[in-house]
Every structure is written in structure tokens, then in C-alpha cells.
A = this chain, B = another copy of it.
Amino acid sequence: MSQLRVELPGLSMKNPVMPASGCFGFGQEYGRFYDLNQLGGITVKAVTTEERPGNPTPRVAEVDGGMLNAIGLQNPGLEHVTQHELPWLEKYDIPVMVNVAGFVMEDYIHVSKHLSKVKNVSAIELNISCPNVKVGGIQFGSDPEVAAELTRRVKEVATVPVYVKLSPNVTNIVDMAKAVESAGADGLSMINTLVGMKIDVKTGKPVIANKTGGLSGPAIKPVAIRMIHDVSQAVKIPIIGMGGIHTADDILEFFMAGASAVAVGTANFVDPFACPNLISDLEVRMNELGIEDINDIVGRSWGKCNDVLSSSR
């Protein structure tokens, strides 16, 4: 398995695959299907200062090649998460990344500060890109200066590495990435969902109660690959890639685009065993393609690893 090991700030992973935030709860549900120790790590659902009821239902809709969701950051709040959800994960020997959301900067700072103190929190992922929350939120994800300030202030209080999860719904994602990098982000997660909508032609109304929802699944993979390809050439911090991963080849594609680890979202719904299956398929596929170490192919599509190879050998 050592060909799969990756090391990212705060995340020492025996393989590069973890579930994506919001698609795996706090781990208990899928823990009934398999031993979570098989995972490279785990990203849990967005946590906010206070409990959040989320949006009205319907919250999901299927579209061609993907799905829309507008869960609305439903979560039991910081206190409940630290006291009841995270302790349950202590029995596993895998890094835990906690997704943090908020409505004003102070929310992010407060939650990040407290989560940093929790024993098994390995890293924080700032969700500045949730398209399903009406107040605030989305601005953090589309204005480089605001995103940078948020990152800087969270970094001041956080004692674990901080990843910033970028929104794809922007004109220039490279600017966003550079801004949060220079503000001290330890890594990037990309991409969050594209804002989309589906209308029921029988009623004439949006299928999702919130009207718009976040598009995830295979449909967004080409956008994710392109963005990671562009961003990985412009920043030095590692990228956790996500968006439509359903096969081991998809994982390789994300690495070749420039990701250093990956997260799997929607695929868990299609197959509860998606993550462990991807991990074993990945090893098989790497052997077929003669890839000895997954780290060797990071950024291969734009020559990063070719450069490394030619200079080191």
C-alpha cells in the first residue's frame, strides 16, 4: 500500500482517498458498511457555531450525470459535534478534517478556534463556497480579498492546518487560490458544487425547495480537472481534488491535473462501498499503468512530475 501513501499538511494518509464533506455525515452511517480505517482520511459535514435546521425539502434532485443538492448546512452545531460526533471517530486511526461554515467571519473564527482544540481534528476545511446559504457565505467564495482576510484571521486562531475549499462559480479561480495561499492557507480543496437548477415541467416550479442547488457528480468533473490544472500551476500548497470521482481512473486524472489527494462525494450515494472500492481499484490500475508511487504523477498533465523526474534521476 505504500505506493498510495500521501502526506499533506496535517493529513498523513495511507491512501489518497477520503469522503467529501456533506456526503458522509460524521462517519457513523458508512461505518456500518465497512471499517473506516480503510480510508485515507475523512472529511465530515459542515459545522457552524449554532445548530442549523437546513433548508426545506425537497433538497435533492437528479440531473443528467449528476445531482443538485441544497441541504443548507444542516448540522447540530459546534458544541454537539465536539461532544458527540467527533469523539465517535476517535476509535479510528485516520486523519479527520472538519468542514467549517459560517455567515460572518466571526463564525468561522469561533468554530475553527474551538475545533483546533479537539483531540482528533487533524485539519480544518473552510467552506467559503457553499452555494446553498443565502446570507453571506457565497461572497467569501467569490471575492479574493474577503477570502484572504478570512483565511488570515482563521489562521491566527487555528492550531491545525487550514484548507480553503474553493467555489467553481467564479470568473478567475486562480486569483482566489493565490489570494488564500498568500493569506496562509495550508492547502486547497476544490471544487465545491456548481450552482444549478432544475424545473419540474409539470408544475413549472423548481424541483428543489431552495430553487437553486449545488451540482455534483460526473457532470462537473471536466470543470474540476480544468480548475485544478490551472490552480496547481499557480500555487505551491497542495490541492485536495474532488468533483465527480466515480472510478480509479478519475482519481488518476485528478492527480495528473495537479491534486495531491482526492475526496469522493456523490459516488458514496451510488455505492456505499465507493471509497474502499476506489482504493483497491486504484492500486490495481496503478500497477496496470506502471505507476509506482501516486505522488509521482501529481501535475503530470502540465509537466510538474516530468520535471521532478528528469531533475532527480
Interface residues of A (CB under 8 A from B): 63-66, 68, 142, 169-172, 194-199, 201-202, 204-206, 211-213, 215, 218-223, 225-226, 229, 244, 249, 252-253, 256-257, 285, 289, 297, 300-301
Contact = CB atoms under 8 A, between A and B. Distances in A.
A195 B171 CA distance: 11
A63 B195 contact: no
A234 to B, nearest CB: 15
B222 A68 contact: yes
A219 B66 CA distance: 8
A253 B218 CA distance: 22
Chain A contact residues: helix, strand, loop or mixed:
mixed
B252 A226 contact: no
A54 to B, nearest CB: 20
A301 B204 contact: yes
6 contacts: A63-B218, A194-B223, A196-B222, A197-B226, A201-B253, A204-B301
Contacts of A257: 197, 199
Given A205-B301, A219-B219, A301-B204, A212 B226 contact: yes
B215 A197 contact: no
Given A219-B66, A300-B204, A301-B205, A198 B171 contact: no
Central interface residue in A66, A142, A211, A219, by most chain B CB within 10 Å:
A219
A244 B198 CA distance: 12
Given A63-B221, A198-B253, A211-B229, 8 more contacts: A65-B66, A65-B218, A66-B219, A171-B171, A199-B225, A201-B253, A219-B219, A219-B222
Nearest to A143: B171
Contacts of A229: 197, 199, 206, 211-212
A201 B64 contact: no
Contacts of A300: 204
A223 B206 contact: no
